Amino acid sequence: MKADLLDDEVIYPFDGGLHLPGHKAMSTDRPIASLPAPDRLVIPVLQHIGKAGEVLVSAGERVLKGQMLARPKHVISAAIHAPVSGVITDIGDYPVPHPSGLPAQCIVIENDHSDEWVERKPVGEDFHHMNSHSLRNIVRDAGIVGLGGAAFPSAVKQTEMDIATLIINGVECEPYITCDDMLMRERAMEVLTGADIIGHIIKARECIIAIEDNKPEAIAAMQAAVDEDGTGYFRVQAVPTKYPSGGEKQLIKVITGKEVPINGLPADIDILVHNVGTAYAIYNAIFKDEPLISRIVTVTGHGVKQPQNMEALIGAPICECTAAAGGYNDDVHQLIIGGPMMGFTVPSDDLPVIKATNCLLVTAQGETHPADQVQHSPCIRCALCVDVCPARLLPQQLYWYASSQNMERLLEHDLFDCIECGCCSYVCPSNIPLVQYYRFAKSEIWAKEEERKKADRARQRHERREARLLKQQQEREERMRKKREALKKKQAGNDGKADPKQDAIAAALARVQAKKQQRKLEPKNTDNLTAEQAALIAAVDKRRQQHNQQAAGVENDDKGVA
């Protein structure tokens, strides 16, 4: 069932794309369930695009629910909070949901099940009287990121002001995933209020809520909330069902007809896009003072018994999510984090739910998806990948350059415009995992760019040190030069005459020397001496004469012997 477009709604098609089987009904026949808080939670410090936060706690410390565990220390970073109250048992490397399969730093909390919160002070309706900077800080401290899958820190996107159009993305175009659909059905007014907060922060002039036309219940629920609002600020717009119409650039093209510039941002054309889940998280932060400690996850696929959506705490084990969905069927095959197009397979369900976990797709034997690891054949140059690429790239050429690690040619062919939608992999008759090649190439380029930046920083530090040492040496030489010049001036005087002070010192020294010489030449005056003093002097003189005579006699004897 699809919702009809209104007469005044103009849709602009985008290039490429696919019409895919939805498989959405299997997880929308039950309301959103709440996953019970597990006994142990493993919370990765890095769950978002950007830098990891600074850990604020230590092992053995007791934390309260909602307490900040790691704060953002970079511009593009996000805070992490405790989803439960309990004791931190460890901070170390644990397996995390990531295509690389590598472990990452995590904070492990042993749940005490007391559910004791930190002190909370919700802003509520007073947000209308707050400035953008204060609200943006609340969003940043709440650790809110894009919940559509990219996990980009939301506060960073909200730094642009006076945006013409705010688009709330409820398209959810990837097969199997229905978490946004169920959120809009059950919590439409909260989503609308969150969108109102975002619009207030960025001072948007209108807000469009975009929903794919295969979600009539969500469209009806959001339209009822818009009608209740009655301000005319919001508008619900249905968009045709076509993958990947939920991509940011593709959605902007569909709704407005505008295209985001190459290497540009939506803000460059006066537009900002946020996911409906992000809007709901911002509502919780402002009206409940609740950080992002949980999210709605779709647990679906033919490999589980009861596909459904559930609200799970961040850090909860994936195995408990699948158990709450009735457990696995006997023909279970693979577990995919995310959807079948953009997701990735994981070898185990002993991994935590993170902020970017929107879907847990459990496949059955015989099913194949682009995310599966299958043996592929050589490229036959059919160009089907070119026809379906929504970014108007040349996937075949990107594949050749990625496989040969020709990074310069990859950049020339706009590799980073690839949104990794998986359309090329889906239609490839050779089963080449094209998106995986692109991801690898991007990571290599990022790594080399980081190395280059580090080398540049080291070179700049060395150059600054050399410049500092040279400056210090020049300053010392200048000081010595000035001292020498001052000394010369002192000696020569300002007009070239002798320095009177120096002349006086020299004359005084000459007089002292003259007096000493005169005393040596003058005969001893014995007129004023007493008889005893004169007799003593005479005895000394006689003794000296005898000594001299004896010395002279010894010298003559030595000559005679010789």
**258-268 pLDDT tens trace:** 999 888 899 99
E strand spans, 82-198: 86-95, 103-111, 165-170
Q: How far apart are CA 281 and CA 194, in angstroms?
A: 7
Among 502, 529, 555, the domain boundary falls at 502
The answer to whether 388 and 17 are in contact (CB under 8 A) is: yes
Nearest to 195 by CA among 231, 220, 141: 231
Q: Does the pLDDT of residue 146 top 70, yes or no?
A: yes
Of the candidates 313, 332, 364, which is a domain's last residue? 364
Q: Determine the average pLDDT of the residues in 47-71.
A: 94
Q: Is residue 7 predicted with pLDDT exceeding 50?
A: no
Residues 346, 317 share a domain: yes
The average pLDDT across 105-130 equals: 94
Q: How many CB atoms lie within 10 A of CB 17?
A: 21
**What percent of the chain lies above the pLDDT cut of 90?**
70
pLDDT level of residue 498 (50, 70, 90 thresholds): low
- Structural domain range at position 299: 25-364
| Confidence at residue 520, expressed as pLDDT on a 0 to 100 scale | 60
What integer is the mean pLDDT of 363-392? Answer: 85
357 plus 392 within the same structural domain? no
Q: How many CB atoms lie within 10 A of CB 312?
A: 28
Query: Which DSSP state fits 136?
Result: H
Give the SS3 label for residue 300.
Answer: strand
Residue-level pLDDT at 523: 57
What pLDDT band is residue 545 in, cutting at 50, 70 and 90?
Answer: confident
The pLDDT value recorded for residue 280 is 97
Q: What would the pLDDT profile of 477-494 be if each residue is shown by its tens digit?
A: 999 988 888 887 777 765
Say if pTM beats, i.e. exceeds, 0.85. Answer: no
Tracing tokens 């991509």 back to the chain, one arrives at 247
Same domain, 55 and 201: yes
Q: What are phi and psi of 415, to 5 degrees?
A: -55, -40
- The mean pLDDT of the chain is 89
Give the whole-angstrom CA distance, residue 288 versus residue 216.
30
Name the nearest CA neighbour of 40 among 99, 93, 106, 97.
106
Predicted confidence (pLDDT) per residue in 499-539, tens digit: 667 677 777 888 888 877 776 665 555 555 667 767 777 77
In a domain, 546, yes or no: no
Q: What is the pLDDT of residue 372?
A: 64
In a domain, 516, yes or no: no
Would residue 114 be called left, alpha or beta, if left means φ above 0 and alpha means ψ between -120 and 50 degrees? alpha
For the beta carbon of residue 190, count every other beta carbon within 10 angstroms: 21
Over 60: is that where the pLDDT of 6 sits? no
State how far the Cα of 92 lies from the Cα of 437, in Å rounded to an integer: 30
Residue type, 142: A
Range with lowest mean pLDDT among 134-138, 180-184, 268-272, 501-505: 501-505
| Res 518: pLDDT | 73
Same domain, 206 and 69: yes
**252 and 142 in a common domain:** yes
Which among 256, 284, 290 is positioned nearest to 272, based on CA atoms? 256
Cβ atoms of residues 281 and 153 within 8 Å: no
pLDDT value, residue 505:
78
Regarding whether 388 and 467 lie in a shared domain, the answer is yes
pLDDT computed for residue 517 by the predictor: 74
What is d(CA 88, CA 42) in angstroms, rounded to the nearest whole number?
10
Whether the pLDDT of residue 547 is over 90: the answer is no
In a domain, 36, yes or no: yes
Task: Report the pLDDT averaged over residues 179-187.
Answer: 97
Identify the weakest region by mean pLDDT among 175-184, 215-224, 422-431, 524-533.
524-533
The DSSP result for 500-532, as a single string, is HHHHHHHHHHHHHHHHHHHHHHSPPP-TTS-HH
Condensed to tens digits (0 to 9), the pLDDT of residues 308-344 reads 999 999 999 999 999 999 999 999 999 999 999 999 9
Side chain identity at residue 422, one-letter code: G
Question: Can you read off the two tokens belonging to residue 239?
Answer: 């968009």
C-beta separation of 140 from 286 below 8 A: no
Q: Does residue 266 lie within any of the structural domains?
A: yes
Claim to verify: residue 436 and residue 485 sit in the same structural domain: yes
Whole-angstrom distance, CA of residue 54 vs CA of residue 56: 6
Before 244, cis peptide (omega within 30)? yes
Q: Are residues 334 and 415 in the same domain?
A: no
The two structure tokens encoding residue 382: 């059919």
385 pLDDT higher than 70: yes
CA torsion, points 522, 526, 529, 532, in degrees to nearest 10? 120
Q: Are residues 421 and 327 in the same domain?
A: no
Q: How far apart are CA 540 and CA 524, in angstroms?
A: 13
Q: What pLDDT was estimated at residue 493? A: 61
Closest by alpha carbon to 420, among 344, 334, 335? 344
Task: Note whether 111 and 238 are same-domain residues.
Answer: yes
CATH number of the structural domain spanning residue 188: 3.40.50.11540
CATH number at residue 460: 1.10.1060
Give domain status of residue 518, yes or no: no
Please tell me the total count of domains within the chain.
Answer: 2
Q: Assess contact for 335 and 176: CB atoms under 8 A.
A: no
Question: How distant, in Å, are the alpha carbons of 188, 224, 233 from that of 227?
Answer: 12, 5, 11
Torsion (CA) 104, 282, 161, 199 in degrees, nearest 10? 150
Give the C-alpha separation, 310 to 300, whole Å: 11
Q: What's residue 561's pLDDT?
A: 46
- 32 shares a domain with 137: yes
Which of 472, 502, 532 represents a domain boundary (last residue)? 502
Mean pLDDT of the region 368-381: 77
The residue ranges of DSSP E strands in 77-180, in sequence order, are 80-81, 86-95, 103-111, 165-170
pLDDT at 551: 62
What DSSP string runs through 236-257?
A: EEEE---BTTTSHHHHHHHHH-
Do 198 and 291 belong together in one domain? yes
Q: Is 92 exposed, middle or buried (0-12, 13-18, 19+ CB in 10 A)?
A: exposed
Please tell me the predicted confidence (pLDDT) of residue 562.
45
Mean pLDDT of 118-134: 93
Query: Which amino acid is located at 410 in the chain?
Result: L
Q: How far is CA 213 from CA 21, 181, 210, 303, in A?
A: 14, 11, 9, 28
Q: What is the largest CA-CA distance in the chain?
A: 148
In a domain, 538, yes or no: no
Is 246 a domain residue? Answer: yes
Answer whether residue 554 is part of any domain. Answer: no
